[in-house]
Structure 1
Amino acid sequence: MRTLQLTLGEAIEICKALSNEHRMRILDILTQGPMNVNDLSEMMELPFSTAAANIKKLEDAGLISTELVPGRGMQKVSSKKYDRIVINLRKEEQVDENIITIDMPIGEFADCEIGPTCGLVSDSAFLGMMDEPRSFYEPERKEAQLIWFRSGYIEYRFPNRIPYGGKEERLEIMAELCSEAPYHKLDWPSDITVWVNGIEIGTWTSPSDFGGERGFLTPKWWLTENTQYGLLKTWTVNRHGSFIDGVKQSDVTLEDLSIHAKPYISIKFGVKKNAVNAGGMNLFGHRFGNYEQGIIMKLHYSRKE
């Protein structure tokens, strides 16, 4: 999916280009494939000059491209450049050289212990067999865009890039998650726990296995009655404790996590065997759900003066 990311300032000209019914219709038609001006004007029942003027506006805004191709002589053929436009309402954060950010694809897990119901899918097909934990060891697992299991855990190992002499100040973990029920079920709580380097940092109770309404990124082939999207949750550990979305969960601090002890940072998601709500979990990747990301780890650190 080709995405155009815009700030509020960058969006002004794009919004002007889109604030016209004819131009919106042109983009809708070009979703079907490239087309020349004559065909567009006939399909829209517009004069050639009107269609050409609106295509020029979309070209100037960078939303479509036009090129000369052979066919009944040389003709101009227009095609759509993007599938989606995202306008970021928040100002871009200034890049801080003392923040390490890693977006880990969900298929790149290092270890797991999985109990059915379970499975993995890419953005185009099932990977391995349904409800078969052995599928989690297939080489194709790295292509996973949605992972689900009813019990167990899945572990990721992030490279420890904190420089020698650096001191960790805050660790953030962000992922899109929800419960796991057959197909989907809105009233289906599940206690999803996160561990860092083997230390539990907090449990979030997911309220639902969300489905019945399509996820923003979920592929069309994936049935609407199946799990569609999750909620974006943030686990944070600093020198004062551990938090989920800013709410304190425990007194576990960065010092307890032994960040410098290994060349990697282990981050594990799972549902405990003795969980009050043992409702499984779904984990969403870059091309499933509502958020275009895998598992994001941000490690803030300070340098010695």
Structure 2
Amino acid sequence: MARNERLNIEDRAKVRKIAKALANEERLDIISHLVNTSLNISEIAQLVGIPQSTAALHIRVLEDAGIIQSEMLPGERGTMKLCSRTMDKIEIGLVEGRRKNFSTSVSMPVGAFTDCEIHPTCGMCSANEIISCDNAPSEFFIPERMNAELVWTSSGFIEYSFPIPVEGLNKKPKRLIFTFEASSEAPFYNEDWPSDITIWVNDIEAATFTCPGDYGKRRGRITPIWWNASQFGLLYTLELTSVGTILNRIRQSELTIDDYGLDKVSNSIKIRIGNKDDAVNKRGFNLYGKHFGDYEQDLVLSLVFD
């Protein structure tokens, strides 16, 4: 999951590593190409127009600075190194002093839901196997669900309770950001399979969007090799702000963050994802964890406080 890095000028060793990593045009190009996706060394070399050996050296410098991370995955010829960006923003304070604003983030596994309404086709997968039986809604609350990296249902909803960190209790957030990867749900897959998916925050409808399909014509970048159905989704970012509710940079409503009662909840925030009963395209959804799909992240909820 990409994060914001905040440094002080006193963090000399870390500042030097980041400064070195950013002081090169080719490395800046690599970072740009990793903004919305993960790439292997060969793909990076081709996109930047450099030899693979040079790309590998640049990757080591970026890894050392903590700007990207890599993992070894099975490839067509042995293994390949898949690289992902770890930072959205880097801030370096030139003077010491306590910041007025602070933020918190919680990464929630897709199997850690607290409520659901499930209809076949439905199921769950861990990174290694199918969990319990396909198309058995009654199995969704078995303990093994906590290991799920992919969950799917043809309609209904899945709800999560995100804890409010101690430092945020009894405080009024000025911004909420919720990010997740999702697709529609068709038997096996169908890339032309629109589904109207709604997000609720504390039981208040925040946004409804139409997901175009259930994607499977190519493999998900981090989807396990043994899985042959739904491969990846699209990345969605919901923002509750002081000026309205926004999804993927498009305003959804005039509801502001104050309208969701976040300062009135005791210790958690409810996020529900699902199809409304009267949805025109009621075609379910897949939710992807950090070991499935194109994006190495779980469901991520971030809060920004004054």
Q: TM-score, normalised by structure 2?
A: 0.70
Distance 1:85 1:247 in 2: 31
* Larger mean Cα displacement after TM superposition, 119-128 or 82-91: 82-91
2:83 alignment partner in structure 1: 86
How far 1:87 sits from its partner (Å)? 5.7
How far 1:85 sits from its partner (Å)? 4.0
2:71/2:83 contact within 8 Å kept: no
1:107/1:143 contact within 8 Å kept: yes
Amino acid at match of 1:235: L
1:212 alignment partner in structure 2: 217
How far 1:168 sits from its partner (Å)? 1.1
1:199 alignment partner in structure 2: 204
1:285 alignment partner in structure 2: 289
After TM superposition, the structure 1 = structure 2 runs for residues 130-141 of structure 1, keeping only pairs within 5 Å, are: 130-141=134-145
Cα 1:250–1:183, aligned 2, differ >3 Å: closer, same or farther? same
1:159 alignment partner in structure 2: 163
Larger Rg: 1
Amino acid at match of 2:83: V
> Which stretches in structure 2 are left out of the alignment for 5+ residues?
1-16, 28-40, 43-52, 62-69, 74-80, 93-98
Distance 2:172 2:104 in 1: 12
Distance 2:261 2:242 in 1: 13
1:244 alignment partner in structure 2: 247
> Which stretches in structure 1 are left out of the alignment for 5+ residues?
1-5, 16-26, 29-53, 63-79
1:116/1:133 contact within 8 Å kept: yes
Amino acid at match of 1:184: Y
1:98 alignment partner in structure 2: 102
1:257 alignment partner in structure 2: 260
Aligned residues: 239
Distance 1:165 1:89 in 2: 30
Task: Give aligned-pair identity as a percent.
Answer: 37
1:172/1:299 contact within 8 Å kept: yes
Distance 2:19 2:222 in 1: 22
Cα 1:242–1:130, aligned 2, differ >3 Å: closer, same or farther? same
2:64 alignment partner in structure 1: none
After TM superposition, the structure 1 = structure 2 runs for residues 57-68 of structure 1, keeping only pairs within 5 Å, are: none
Amino acid at match of 2:112: E
2:150/2:289 contact within 8 Å kept: yes
Distance 1:125 1:81 in 2: 20
1:127/1:140 contact within 8 Å kept: yes
Amino acid at match of 1:122: S
Cα deviation digits, residues 12-51 of structure 1 (max 9, x gap): 7x99xxxxxxxxxxx99xxxxxxxxxxxxxxxxxxxxxxx
